[in-house]
Amino acid sequence: MAIPDYQTIMLPLLKFISDQKEHHVREMIDYLAGEFRLSDEERRRLLPSGNDVIFDNKVKWARLYIGKAGLLEPTGKGYWKITKRGLQVLSQNPSRIDVKFLEQFLEYREWRKTTSRETKEETTSKVEVVGEQTPGEALEYGYQQMKNDLVQQLLTQVKNASPKFFEKLVVELLVKMGYGGSIRDAGKVVGASGDEGIDGVIKEDRLGLDTIYVQAKKWTATIGRPELMKFVGALKGQKANKGVFITTSKFSTDATDYVTKIDSKVVLIDGEQLAEFMVDFHIGVSPVATYEIQRLDSDYFAEE
């Protein structure tokens, strides 16, 4: 069974805690996962950020919404129980509880009115129309889509750049990632070939305890196994066992399979990965806005 949306979770969640006992959030999640017959893979599936499990996130948002409507209440340290209003709602035997159903409660309407004044208004309203994403998920997937679009824009720019600029970019990226020492040091040893590729041996760390052989090719064609075999041969010629091959294009399946079977440690970075690293290490991009997402700390309000 597919992972349900957070509105579909509301009624089963309320029924689960209808025994009027205190239940921990983890109990709710585990019970509902079984109720919806989720597979192990579905229970482990993460949001794009990797910071939370998708199903866990949906259960938490379902709990938040019905809580704002006064159908359940916190009892401290992650525990919740049903309210008299929640029992009354269940006594009506509703076929579904969703955001439209919750509009009948004043507390919920007041809360929605308050949140609609915030900058999240547009995102939240869209979520309710779709009915499949929580506000948190909308932010996560929205961010991921914006990042994917930015990656493609960066990749286009890099492919259209000159070999000299590409050389500068690779040096800056390696240094930002902690290799090569300084820009000046790395620049001295990277970029000697001048054949629309970059070759050189850089420091693995600032002390130069080990070295890494680098080759980068500003290509449009897919890089196959023969090119990597040449690179590995160059590694042996330099008496090195670590290498990074960077390209603006892609690597063939045969090429990626080849590097898993050799003794040398070779890391392959294709065009999209290069652009993603540029975003991660703030190269060629500038921040527009920063949002800090916070959660209620229920433990703070728990009285001993």
Q: 153-189 burial by CB neighbour count: b if 16+ within 10 A, else e?
A: ebbeebeebebeebbbbbbbbbbbeebbbeeebbbeb
Strand order in the sheet with 197-203: 197-203, 211-217, 242-247, 265-269
pLDDT at 116 over 70: no
Question: Hey, is 134 helix, strand or coil?
Answer: coil
Cα separation, 268 vs 152, in Å, equals 19
Strands (E), the chain: 23-24, 72-76, 79-82, 197-203, 211-217, 242-247, 265-269
Weakest-pLDDT range from 87-96, 100-109, 203-212:
203-212
- Given the DSSP bridges, would you call strands 79-82 and 197-203 parallel, antiparallel or unpaired? unpaired
Looking at residue 301, what is its pLDDT?
66
Please tell me the number of Cα atoms within 13 Å of 137 on its side-chain side: 23
Burial class from Cβ neighbours inside 10 Å (0-12, 13-18, 19+) for residue 57 reads buried
Q: With cut-offs at 50, 70 and 90, classify the pLDDT of residue 199.
A: low
Distances (CA, A) of 253 to 197, 222, 229, 246, 250: 21, 10, 14, 16, 10
Residue 77: φ, ψ to 5°: 55, 45
Cα separation, 134 vs 157, in Å, equals 35
pTM of the model: 0.59
pLDDT at 134 over 80: no
Q: With cut-offs at 50, 70 and 90, classify the pLDDT of residue 119.
A: very low
pLDDT at 23 over 90: yes
What tokens does 210 get? 């080990």
Weakest-pLDDT range from 10-24, 114-128, 134-148, 212-226:
114-128
Write out pLDDT tens, residues 253-291: 999 999 999 988 999 999 999 999 999 999 998 887 776
